[in-house]
Structures are given as structure tokens and as C-alpha cells.
Amino acid sequence: MINDINFELLKSGLYIDIYLDDKNSKNSTSGVFKSKIFNTNLKFNFTYDKNSLNIYNSFFRSKKLAFKNKSLITLEPFLDSNSKFEIEDIDLEIFKQFKLDKLLKSKDILKQINTKNEVNFKSKKFSRSFFDKLNLKFDLAYGRLNYSKKLSISNDIFQCKGNINLLEEFPLLFFDCSINSESKRNLFKKLNINIKKDNETFTLNTKGYLNVLNQKINFQDISLDENYKASKEDLIYFKKSFENILFNEDFVRIFNLNKIKEFILEIS
């Protein structure tokens, strides 16, 4: 039995090595997979049988992204995957390459994907990262994506949860988001926003939905601390303000930090 499989495409920078364990049986195969494509490296251990593929001790590295992960892919009776990713290094510029409109055109593929994922990131001690920790969970089944995100900046918490049906002609991204801080002054300092008010808590809650293709938003509720709840007229004003500030570029770029800071100032 061949235990080592090596593949190299000459002058392409592509290498693939598969090392199989000696104790493999007819019902189960395990081993190690290694690959290098230009400046991208991937290595993981795997165990495969007719029902599932288990990937562990996995490590991926490229110029803009490095992460560890483990995945369990169930093959029978239905295709299903469950993965957890630990991000070690990331260049957020890679999100500019994401094309939402192309993804939404692949509806036949989206119908067949059933997956649960968790992504964690903890910034290094002397990193320039804006946030300290990130936890993102997203589940996709029959075209419906459910998500939750928790982002920590020191003791300040940014949270969002919601869902979107990717199979609809004009998908709506529903969101329920909040920012909670025990020190408004420290939070705004982190955001490079100057305020002269006395230090106080800061709690912002928003609910609504985004039309991701038409770049339109509708707020259902906005409240700030215990003193302010947006009226219908205010919600219309914030809708226009949000669209003018954040939607002057494509969907992915609405999460630019400077745009978010500008909108927080508008509300507070």
C-alpha cells in the first residue's frame, strides 16, 4: 500500500504531500495533508471514513491571513459541516476582495450548504488592532444565515445578532445591535472622538434591517442610555444619515471604522 503521495506542478509553486498512517483499515483512513501554493501554506491531520471527514491540527498561513481550525464534515446521510477557527493574524484589507453580488448569484449552491462556524480572534499585546477580542458565529442552512458577533474593546462590548435569507431576490439583513460601555470618555478616546462632557456610561441599542443589494436601511428602534428613544421622525433622519455616511461605497466598506465613528457621533 502506498503511504506517501507527492504532487508537484513544475514552475507553478504548487506542492501537495499526503502521508497516510500505517494502521489504516478498509473502513477508515487517517494521515497528514500538506500543501504550498505560491506563498500560501496549509497543513492538517485528517481521519476519513464513508460517513465523515475529521480535520484537526490544521494551520493555514498566507501574507494576509493566518489561522488554526478544526472541522467535522459529515457526508452521510446529508452533507453537513461544523468548524471552529482561531485567527492568529489578519489583514482586514482582504475583505475588499469579497464580492457579495457574486455570492448571491450562486443560489443553487447556497441551497445545498449546511454549516455551523465559530471564529475567534484575540489581538496580540502590542498589536495595533482596534479591538481586543472577536467572537463570530454563523450558521447557514437552506440559504438562511443566522449570525451573532461580539467584539470587545477593553471593557466595552459591541454586539450584533440577526439573520438573512440569501435566496431572496433582494436579501434583507436583519440586525439587533448594541454598544455597552461603563466609560463613555474612554470609549470615545479609543474611537479618537473628543468629548468634554463628564464621564458617564454609554449604552446604544439599534434594531432594523439592511437591503444589501440596494444599499438601503430601515431602523425599527434606536435608543441611547435611558434618556432617549428615537421617534418615527428621528428614525427617518437617522436612515438618511446612515445611507449618506456609510453607503457611499459598496456593502463591505460600510464597516470602515471612520464611517462608524461618524455615525455614532451623529446619534450621540
When divided into structural domains, the chain yields a total of 1
Q: Is residue 67 part of a domain?
A: no
User: pLDDT band at 42, cuts 50/70/90?
Assistant: very high
In a domain, residue 113? The reply is: no
pLDDT value at 234 more than 80 = yes
Give the pLDDT band (50/70/90) at residue 3: confident
Domain containing 194: what range? 139-268
- 41 vs 3, residue with greater confidence: 41
Does residue 110 belong to any structural domain of this protein? no
User: What is the average pLDDT score of the chain?
Assistant: 84
Q: Write the pLDDT tens digit of every residue in 118-166.
A: 999 987 754 555 668 889 999 999 999 999 999 888 778 889 999 999 9
Within 8 A by CB and 6+ apart from 224, the residues are 203, 204, 205, 267, 268
Q: In terms of Cα–Cα distance, which of 121, 64, 72 is closest to 98?
A: 64
Amino acid identity for residue 245 in this structure: I
Query: Which of 217, 222, 218 is closest to 254 using CA atoms?
Result: 217
Residue 234 lies in a domain: yes
Cell reading at 93: 484589507
- Count of other CB atoms within 10 angstroms of residue 152: 16
User: Rounded to whole angstroms, how far apart are CA atoms 72 and 65?
Assistant: 22
Which of 40, 81, 39 minimizes the C-alpha distance to 60? 40
Q: Note whether residue 34 is domain-resident.
A: no
Class of residue 216 by CB neighbours under 10 A (exposed 0-12, middle 13-18, buried 19+): middle
Q: What is the pLDDT of residue 197?
A: 62
Q: Residue 30: inside a domain, yes or no?
A: no
pLDDT in tens, 161-205: 999 999 999 999 999 999 998 888 888 877 777 776 667 888 999
**Is residue 87 included in any domain, yes or no?**
no
How would residue 259 be classed by pLDDT, with cut points 50, 70 and 90? low
pTM: 0.83
Give the pLDDT of residue 130.
61
